Amino acid sequence: MKVVVWQFIGQSVIKREYTVDGKKDENSLFEAAKMFIQDQAKQKSFPVSCVIGCYHKSFLNKKCHRFNTYFVLKGAGMMEYAEVLRTKFLQQFGIDLVNEPIRDI
């Protein structure tokens, strides 16, 4: 099934489409978010923001689910990047991403 993943980086939106196996549920969306973050890691500057949005392309209403990027990074095995994002976000906004929900934040 097709999943569309997006993320705001500065003034622009990065949007990609992924094919994932499984049911149309939260797990397939999280898998697509991990694929997105792994693709982002291949970029020279590796831009990320605190939220990643996903929706199943085949759904008519295209309800978007948002994931806490800290947990997506951890799920993709990128612990160092997750901690850097957590530290920077805590310093800038006083919010610890560890204490925020994994999805629909």
pLDDT digits (tens, 9 = 90+) for 59-100: 656 678 899 999 999 999 999 999 999 999 999 999 999 999
DSSP state of 3: E
In a domain, 59, yes or no: yes
Average pLDDT for the chain: 88
Tokens found for residue 54: 């996903």
In a domain, 12, yes or no: yes
In a domain, 10, yes or no: yes
In a domain, 104, yes or no: no
Q: What pLDDT, on a 0 to 100 scale, did the predictor assign at position 8?
A: 85
In a domain, 70, yes or no: yes
Domain that holds residue 94: 2-99
Question: Pick the residue with more confidence: 50 or 59?
Answer: 50
Counted domains in the chain: 1
Query: Exposure string (b/e) for 26-48, b if CB count within 10 Å is 16 or more?
Result: eebbbbbbbbbbeebeeeeeeeb
In a domain, 40, yes or no: yes
